[in-house]
Amino acid sequence: MNATYSPGLEGVVAGTTAISTVGKKGRGLSYRGYSINDLAGRASFEEVAHLLLHGYLPDRDGLAQFRNRLVARRGLPPALKKVLEQLPADAHPMDVLRTGCSVLGALEPEGSSLDGERTAERLLASFPGMLMYWHHFATRHRRIDLELEEENFAGYLMTLLHGKRPDELKRRTVDASLTLYAEHEFNASTFAARVTASTLSDFYSAVTSAIGTLRGPLHGGANEEVMRLVSRFDSPEQAEAGLKEMLARKEKIMGFGHRVYKDMDPRSPIIRNWSRELADASGHRPLFAIFERIEQVVLEEKGLYPNLDFYSACAYHLCDIPTAMFTPFFVFARITGWSAHIMEQRQANRIFRPVAEYLGPDPLKYPPLEQRRQEP
Ligand SMILES: CC(=O)SCCNC(=O)CCNC(=O)[C@H](O)C(C)(C)COP(=O)(O)OP(=O)(O)OC[C@H]1O[C@@H](n2cnc3c(N)ncnc32)[C@H](O)[C@@H]1OP(=O)(O)O
Ligand SMILES: O=C([O-])CC(=O)C(=O)O
């Protein structure tokens, strides 16, 4: 076999998919053939989730049934709640979700690999409750009710977080952000899920792999790092000076750059508009101006464009979502894409097993124990 090495697998075609296109000429970003601009502007996140999980946009009845199933699958088994109650208040919320997913897999294992759609809906429905149950217990010792009537997914998770229904602008912003975050072809976490699925492992193991992969700051964890960066500045001028210093030190600026998009990420202007609307409505224009100035400086100095994580940080902050929950919100959405990919992998499976270029020593003579020198 004649294989060429591509660091980070850049440009390598690692499989086939019918789920989405990313940055494809003439198609841009699309989920199952529908443009992201149509989906983010016109469909609710539940319609998009149905499209990804079941392959088609539901009609009115199909959507109502899907929403009902999600509402019915929100509750958590007592044994899982007990585990969540043991996790410390300073645990990272992504650790909580990774643990919660793993425990649910032990309590409600897949009966057979045909259970994929049911498991996907169970995880989609229960992830918000897992995180918010832990959050309220760990911070205020309150055991919250997870089985609320609210059938809108964004409304449900915001109500769980804040203990009251969100205002309409915040709910619609979160709804749109979930659609934007839902799916993105062979990104690192989806690829991790597919690699795990390719060994014929179970659904929960594949999703646990994906959560662990999304957590890193080069991937989903970037949205949290963006907010930590922006919080260091009080004005656009300060941000400009700070960013120039960082770039001079050759530091990476989180929320910028992308493996596939070498110019604009098509999701970025959409979430930027929601952020601006929120900033205008809540008197936070100065914060938005800091984001804008950072965008301008990084483009001028490095020629890099913001990815989805950059303005998502602004939107989530203005929706009063704690910074450490930004990446979990990404999970609440991307579970739909991960699930679609796990099911697609199972339909035409071959185990992932690439090869490595060896850079180690030439063959060595084996030294008996008494003749070995301690290596430094
Ligand atoms: C939803 C998502 O997961 S989107 C990604 C979220 N991640 C981030 O925002 C983290 C910051 N961005 C990055 O680290 C990268 O751009 C990635 C991980 C997204 C893509 O990585 P790659 O495709 O491997 O690009 P790579 O890191 O090789 O960058 C190419 C060049 O641009 C530079 N560059 C890329 N991104 C950045 C950045 N955010 N800040 C500063 N320089 C950057 C690199 O230093 C490199 O420069 P060099 O050629 O002089 O060494
Ligand atoms: O596609 C990628 O490399 C990262 C990702 O998940 C996204 O941009 O949504």
ipTM of the complex: 0.98
Distance CA 286, CA 94 (A): 30
The Å distance, Cα 179 to ligand 2 centre, comes to 13
C-alpha Rg value of the chain to the nearest Å: 22
- Mean pLDDT per 10-residue segment, the chain (376 residues): 85 97 91 97 97 98 97 97 98 98 95 80 98 98 95 97 97 98 98 98 97 98 98 98 98 98 96 98 97 98 98 98 98 98 97 96 96 82
The Å distance, Cα 162 to ligand 2 centre, comes to 29
Atom nearest to 308 CA in ligand 1: 1
Q: Encoding tokens for residue 86?
A: 């043991």
Residue with CA nearest ligand 1 atom 22: 259
Q: Encoding tokens for residue 55?
A: 């392959």
Distance CA 154, CA 182 (A): 13
What is the per-residue pLDDT for 108?
Answer: 94
Nearest ligand to the CA of 259 is 1
Residue with CA nearest ligand 1 atom 17: 258
What is the per-residue pLDDT for 37?
Answer: 96
Tell me the H-state helices in the chain: 36-42, 45-54, 60-72, 78-86, 93-107, 116-140, 153-162, 168-181, 188-198, 203-214, 222-230, 236-248, 268-282, 285-302, 308-318, 326-347
- Annotated catalytic residue, options 265, 309, 317, 341: 309
What is the per-residue pLDDT for 373?
Answer: 86
- pLDDT tens digits along 77-111: 999 999 999 999 999 999 999 999 999 999 999 97
184 lines ligand 2 (CB under 6 A): yes
The Å distance, Cα 244 to ligand 1 centre, comes to 17
Nearest ligand to the CA of 22 is 2
The Å distance, Cα 226 to ligand 1 centre, comes to 14
Q: Which residue has the tokens 């976490």?
A: 189
DSSP string over 322-367 = -GGGHHHHHHHHHHHHHHHHHHHHHHT-----------SPPP-PPP
Contact by Cβ (8 Å): 77, 108: yes
Nearest ligand to the CA of 306 is 1
Widest CA span of the chain, in angstroms? 77
What is the per-residue pLDDT for 115?
Answer: 79
The Å distance, Cα 162 to ligand 1 centre, comes to 34
The Å distance, Cα 187 to ligand 2 centre, comes to 5
177 lines ligand 2 (CB under 6 A): no
Structural domains of the chain in order of their starting residue, each with its CATH number? 19-218+325-347 (1.10.580.10), 223-318 (1.10.230.10)
Which has the closest alpha carbon to 49: 16, 19, 87, 74?
19
Our answer to whether residue 145 is catalytic in this structure is: no
Q: Which residue has the tokens 């020629």?
A: 303
Residue with CA nearest ligand 1 atom 16: 257
The Å distance, Cα 333 to ligand 2 centre, comes to 13
Our answer to whether residue 265 is catalytic in this structure is: no
What is the per-residue pLDDT for 163?
Answer: 96
Atom nearest to 259 CA in ligand 1: 23
- pLDDT tens digits along 41-72: 899 999 999 999 999 999 999 999 999 999 99
3-state secondary structure of 32: coil
Q: Encoding tokens for residue 335?
A: 């579970």
Q: Encoding tokens for residue 270?
A: 């959409």
- Ligand 1 pocket (Cβ < 6 Å) reads 8, 218-220, 222, 252-259, 302, 304, 307-309
Atom nearest to 259 CA in ligand 2: 3
Residue with CA nearest ligand 1 atom 35: 257
* Ligand 1 probe mutation, 256, 329, 330, most atoms within 8 A of CB: 256
What is the per-residue pLDDT for 1?
Answer: 54
What is the per-residue pLDDT for 74?
Answer: 97
DSSP string over 138-188 = HHH--------S--SHHHHHHHHHHSSPPPHHHHHHHHHHHHHHS--TT-H
Residue with CA nearest ligand 1 atom 7: 218
Residue with CA nearest ligand 2 atom 8: 184
* Ligand 2 probe mutation, 179, 184, 191, 309, most atoms within 8 A of CB: 184
What is the per-residue pLDDT for 369?
Answer: 94
